[in-house]
Amino acid sequence: MRVSQLLDEHPELLEVLIEASPAFAKLKNPLLRRTMPRLVTLAQAARIGGLEPAALVERLNRALGVETPVTEGPPADAGSRLGTPPPGWLGAPLGFRLDVRPILAAGGEPFGAIMAAAREVAPGERLCLEAPFEPLPLYRVMERNGFSAWCEQAGPEHYRVHFLRRAGPPGAPRGPRPLGEADWAGYAAEVSVEANLEPPLPMMRVLEALARLEPGQRLLVHHVRRPVHLLARLEQDGHPYALRELGPGQVELLIEKGG
């Protein structure tokens, strides 16, 4: 379960989370609550808060009147890079530094900026990401894009994550190219996503429409929000895209089908 689902179904549990760990106090900020929890599972949240997942779940269930025993389990998140030995590549040249804390503080979604920054990093260079929490869901996306990761805590609510772009075969692309303004002039199909569609239906609708195109053809998507998980899937599968926000509840996404 993601933190967003928990708070949507049981908003009263926000205070329980904050009592469990001071790290969750940031969720009092409604702008941050719109972004971070939608990317983070309860297990990952427990890791951020320095708690065991089973203990956090037991505490939340107890607040709801459901008694569950605490059981021994695996570490809070096996994907965490915090506290692991510094890698030998930490001294690699810095290709790009990005601080997403202002974006999150303003209620924005930094995923697009992170992917754009990653495209600027050459093999053997580092992307240095400054964030208010360890971005556990990002590791898998970056791994699929050819990056290794390591994280350190620089201060309260300040995490510094280093991503090394591993060297690939000679001539290998560094990821899907970003689409430019001229690419918006033509597209082979378009699809609309309504606000009342429950996940994962919006993503499925877009991916099904994209599957019907030939490589190199473009799909125009009319969406009601920035589709964070769809963008991660496009990055993973190598489909270039461009996104523009036209106003509240109006987002256009142009996708070019990869080869």
pLDDT in tens, the chain (259 residues): 778 788 888 889 889 988 888 777 777 776 566 655 556 778 777 766 667 788 888 889 989 888 655 444 444 444 788 888 999 999 999 999 999 888 777 766 677 788 888 888 889 999 999 998 888 778 888 888 889 999 999 998 899 999 999 986 544 445 555 678 888 989 999 999 998 887 778 888 999 999 999 999 999 999 998 887 788 778 777 888 888 888 888 999 999 998 7
DSSP 242: E
Contact 123, 167 (CB under 8 A): yes
CATH superfamily label, 181-256: TusA-like domain (3.30.110.40)
On whether the 88-165 domain is CATH 3.30.110, my answer is yes
Q: Which residues contact 99 (CB under 8 A, 6 or more apart)?
A: 129, 130
Q: Give burial (CB, 10 Å; 0-12/13-18/19+) of 133.
A: buried
Please list the alpha-helical segments (H only) found in 1-129.
3-9, 13-20, 30-33, 42-48, 53-63, 101-105, 111-118
For the beta sheet containing 218-223, the strands, ordered from the edge strand earlier in sequence to the opposite edge, are 189-192, 218-223, 250-256, 241-247
Which pLDDT does position 51 carry in this prediction? 76
CA 199 and chain centroid, separation: 16
Question: ω before 169 within 30° of 0 (cis)?
Answer: no
Q: For residues 42 and 4, what is the distance between their CA atoms, to the nearest angstrom?
A: 9
Q: Residue 212: what are its φ and ψ, rounded to 5°? A: -80, -5
CA separation for the pair 197, 176 (Å, rounded): 28
Using CA atoms, how far residue 38 sits from 49, 116, 148, 177, 254, in Å, is: 16, 21, 24, 27, 23
- Which pLDDT value is given to residue 168? 62
* Residue ranges, CATH 3.30.110.40, the chain: 181-256
Cβ(124)–Cβ(92) below 8 Å: yes
